[in-house]
Every structure is written in structure tokens, then in C-alpha cells.
Amino acid sequence: MTLALQILATVILLTVALGIYRIERGPTGTDRMLSAMLFGTSGVALTLVLGELTGLHGLRDMALVFALLGALTAVAFVKRAWGADD
């Protein structure tokens, strides 16, 4: 089980690396925002995996905070993007 979680953590870190590439290459702000949202999702997943690997169950609470912050960031971006068109 530990090996599977370590492989999963590595895959999540690879998705973060792809997100960094997309932020560099993204032609629009929307592409960059979606990559930032990928960071939030990957951060939640990585925190949960590391919590299981280390046995620190307080990391679940930290993952919940990351998820809430990611949702607030998405709402703020949409509000700003739609407000610019009006």
C-alpha cells in the first residue's frame, strides 16, 4: 500500500509540473487560471496522500482548507472575468 501511495504522490507532482508548463505557455488568462486551479486540486490530493503515508490525520483538515480556498479563488476569477465584459 505504501508503494502505491508513493507512486500516486509522484504522479500528482508530475501533473503539477505540467500545470507549470501550461502557465508558461497559456495564451489567455483563463488557461492560466485553470492551471492554478489544477494546483489547488493537486495540493488537496497530495496533502491527503501524504497524510495517509505519514499517519498525520490533521492533514485532512488542511486539505479541506485548501479545497475551500480553491473554490473561493474560482468564484473570484469568474466574478472578475464576467465583470470585465459588462
pLDDT digits (tens, 9 = 90+) for 17-56: 888 888 888 788 778 788 888 888 998 999 999 999 999 9
CA distance 68 to 2: 28
Better-scored residue on pLDDT, 62 or 25: 62
CA distance 39 to 43: 6
CA distance 30 to 78: 9
Give the model's pLDDT for residue 44: 93
What would the grid cell of residue 70 be?
480553491
Give the model's pLDDT for residue 71: 87
pTM score: 0.78
Q: What is the mean pLDDT of the chain?
A: 86
